[in-house]
Structure 1
Amino acid sequence: MLSRRALLRTGAAAGVAGIATVAALETGVIPGRARIHDALGLTGPDGVIPDVPVGPVVSGSFDSVGRRTKVGYSVLYPDGYDASAALPVVLVLHGRGGDHTSAVNDLGIDRYLTATVRSGTPAFAVATVDGGQNSYWHRRADGNDPGYMLDQEFLPLLAERGLRTGRYGVLGWSMGGYGALLWVALQHSRAVAVGALSPAVWREYDEVQAGAFDGPEDFERSQVFGRPSGFRDVAVRIDCGRDDPFAAAAKDLRDELRAAGGQQAGAHTPGYWRRMLPDQLRFLGGKLGQ
């Protein structure tokens, strides 16, 4: 049987080990922090899709020169507006593995749009389009060029539908969050606001997810860090959950750009993105309406 002194020493050692384990989890030395925080309810609640009507939806496809394939798209209008309304527009870029239907099927953005406009934000439409499941929304070595598609094909298509594309917003999550920021940074001065949810951004090439870039040179050409002039006169909002693997890089970029947004309880999940959608849509719609 252990003596009282031995028990105290054992208890103290266990306490120190427990504190060290918690510290390692919190700093990321031991993986699994997001799972543990989720089990403890520390990643915050999932966003609940508003119980409001959806507005008109116009879907179609076109043969894209930039993407070298047939591309699907959807244009979403808030309830109370018809599909011919001359509204400003927010382009929505989907995440990895998604397509133009993901914004509705995964996030319920059609209902969030109605709720946002009903709450007093000036009305706008949302336009989603296929960017390629693993393209990361930039020109690739195989010739796939989502940026060309957006600028030279999709925006003119939206203008032909009567939407106001002289100034627009861009929103994306994960891969699409990175893509939205990069596209605005490189060349698109007509964007007045860009919003990114959990953008897939990395500081170093050896950290990137397989398939995101064609090599180190592609990574350097496609960086969003170090391009502050590309965001001149563009309002930027970046939100990322504290337990997201991109949290540190997203914070660095937000600080570099002096962007709105922040780090909230949350992980890299649709539930977090749904929770933050109202703030993002109000931000974008408010900038478009100014």
Structure 2
Amino acid sequence: MSGSRPRPGLSRRGLLVAGGAVAGVAVAGALGVEEEVLPGRGWLHRTLGLDGPDGTVPDVPPGPLTSGSFVSPARLGQRVGWSIALPPDAPDHLPVAVVLHGRGGDHTSAFAPDYLALGSFLAAAVAAGSSPYALASVDGGEAYWHPRANGDDPQKMVLQEFLPLLTRHGLDTRRLGFLGWSMGGFGSLHLAGTLGARRVAGVAVMSPALWHDYADTAPGAYDDARDFAAVEVMTRRSDLDGIALRVDCGEEDPFYASTRDYVAGFAERPAGGFEPGDHDIGYWRRRAPREVAFLGRALAG
């Protein structure tokens, strides 16, 4: 076929050399991606099946789940949903870990069977010997769990409205845990640091949404550079002094590099670590057993 003929002036040897050069570029590109010189490491690992197995929900029935809503003055009068998950046969006055969802989620994300199903992970942890405690989630919208210029203040909602609600439901809120992923991972670090060790026993985060600079942030995550500077956690590690800390992030996650830098900045390395995994439910389910057990130990202490 005419389409298979080499162009005039291009010899067979030239074709071989050109082909070798293309292959060399492809290999160099792959190595560059692997070393994070070029973008696309997560895509490459997903394509090659190198981002690790998806976690599975334990075959353990969850305990009672109570849900409701309230009108939140702190969130501009919005109706805010919430859920409280208890382990099976739970005693009264349990300590509680507040669960902060990622961007695009809501209070149901933590416990929905087709999402994180944390009620089952909690039940499995307690059955395996963890001290019992409650998990409680609440709607935070997409304001990144801090006060915004438009008046929406999910931080105030959690601290001044949701925690008293948990107390009224018989939970012990004198010392708390925080658990979050993505946007909620940032929020957990931020709120735990805001309250400090006198109020927070432990915080466990997966794939926290962390950036070094405002210019790198996702659209809408912060109002402006001043807003970012007021609440960023990368330079405020000392706010977590005395709080048990666990940080997990997948190596294919877009926040891997910044989370790695965040962890490296602690004098004493936090629990958790890095392994193959992406910014997705499969990875978060894989880490959930350790996150839930970690908070059980922290709250028991």
Question: Which AA in structure 1 matches 2:12?
Answer: L
Which runs of 5 or more residues in structure 1 are unaligned? none
Equivalence for 2:169: 161
Show CA shifts across 1:156-177 (max 9, x none): 1111111111111000000000
The answer on 1:177 being equivalent to 2:185 is yes
- Matching residue within 134, 142, 145 for 1:125: 134
Any runs of at least 4 consecutive aligned residues in structure 1 with deviations exceeding 6 A, and if so which? none
Aligned residues: 285
Measured against aligned partners, the alpha-carbon deviations of 1:152-195 in whole angstroms (never above 9, x if no partner) come to 11111111111111111000000000000011122343011111
Answer yes or no: is 1:81 the counterpart of 2:90: yes
Task: Please say if 1:225 is aligned against 2:234.
Answer: yes
Identity within the alignment, %? 46
Structure 2 residue 52 is the aligned partner of structure 1 residue 44: yes
Aligned CA RMSD, in angstroms, stands at 1.6
Aligned-residue offset at 1:29: 4.3
Q: Do structure 1's residue 248 and structure 2's residue 249 form an aligned pair? A: no
CA contact (8 A) 2:196 2:243 kept: no
Change beyond 3 A, Cα 1:281–1:90: same
Amino acid at match of 2:59: D
CA distance in 2, matches of 1:86, 1:74: 17
Which residue does 1:143 correspond to in 2?
151
| Comparing 204-213 and 182-191, the one that deviates more | 182-191
Distance 1:29 1:229 in 2: 31
Q: Which of residues 266, 274, 280 in structure 1 aligns to 2:285?
A: 274
Q: How much has 1:151 moved relative to structure 2?
A: 1.1
242-251 or 15-24, larger mean C-alpha shift? 15-24
- The answer to whether structure 1 residue 22 and structure 2 residue 30 are counterparts is yes
Partner of residue 63, structure 1: 71
Aligned match for 1:98, one of 105, 115, 129 = 105
1:9 to partner: Cα distance: 4.1
Residue 243 (structure 2) aligned to one of 228, 234, 243: 234
Q: Provide the C-alpha distance between the structure 1 equivalents of 2:89 and 2:227, rounded to a whole number of angstroms.
A: 45
Partners of 2:130 and 2:259 lie apart in 1 by 27
TM-score (norm 1): 0.93
Q: Which residue of 2 aligns with 1:284?
A: 295
Kept after mapping to 1: 8 A contact 2:98/2:177: yes
Q: Specify the alignment match of 1:2 in structure 2.
A: 12
